[in-house]
Amino acid sequence: MLIVMDQMKEKTGMPYRGICDAVRLPYPSLVRWRMRRDKDAPLVRQPGPQKVKPPDLGRINRDIAELSHGQDRTAGTGALYTRHGSSISRRELMSMVAMARHDLNTAHRQNLRRIRWNVPNVAWSMDPCEYRQQEEAKVYLNQMQDLASRYKFAPMTGEIPCGEEIAGHLAAT
């Protein structure tokens, strides 16, 4: 950016303030960048105070691995920052924790298995439920579904069904 600004000044003869107005760049930023360039310092720095001692990344990564990672949050990051705050910024630490949590959640999701039933009438799911109908006795429902074809059988209603009754209902359908 500074090279472009210097070339524009040479070609047009305009002052730096006018060039900054034309490209919508704050003039104090240009002055600050030019001073840093003259001192051979980095032009742009990360905001905030610089850390005094270099971080022990191996120790920090071990501490992050010991935390209790949830789906969206990780418990204990505040205490972790108080232990390592003198050597690493909060932003960098939270980024490392988020990356570790993401990797852990990805590994967990990859280890999940899905069962797919290919042949009908091999496996059924049964979902019994009960509810009160106003002030009367409870009503019992037993909803059944074939897991391969996703066919939902007519629900069994009435009293609590016994195993033989359920087997007879499945054999009849």
SS3 14: coil
For residue 45, is it within any domain? Answer: no
Domain count across the chain: 3
pLDDT tops 90 at residue 80: yes
Phi then psi for residue 144, to 5 deg, are -125, 150
SS3 44: coil
> Do 66 and 97 belong together in one domain?
yes
Q: What is the pLDDT of residue 168?
A: 79
Q: In which residue are the tokens 């570790």 written? A: 100
For residue 11, is it within any domain? Answer: yes
DSSP 49: P
- Written as six digits, the tokens of 90 are 């909060």
pLDDT tops 70 at residue 51: no
Using pLDDT thresholds of 50, 70 and 90, give the confidence band for residue 17.
very high
pLDDT tops 90 at residue 117: no
- Please state the three-class secondary structure of 113-162 as a single string: CCCCCCCCCCCEEEEEEEEECCCCCEEEEEEEEECCCCCECCCEEECCCC
| Domain extent for 146 | 124-172
pLDDT tops 80 at residue 166: no
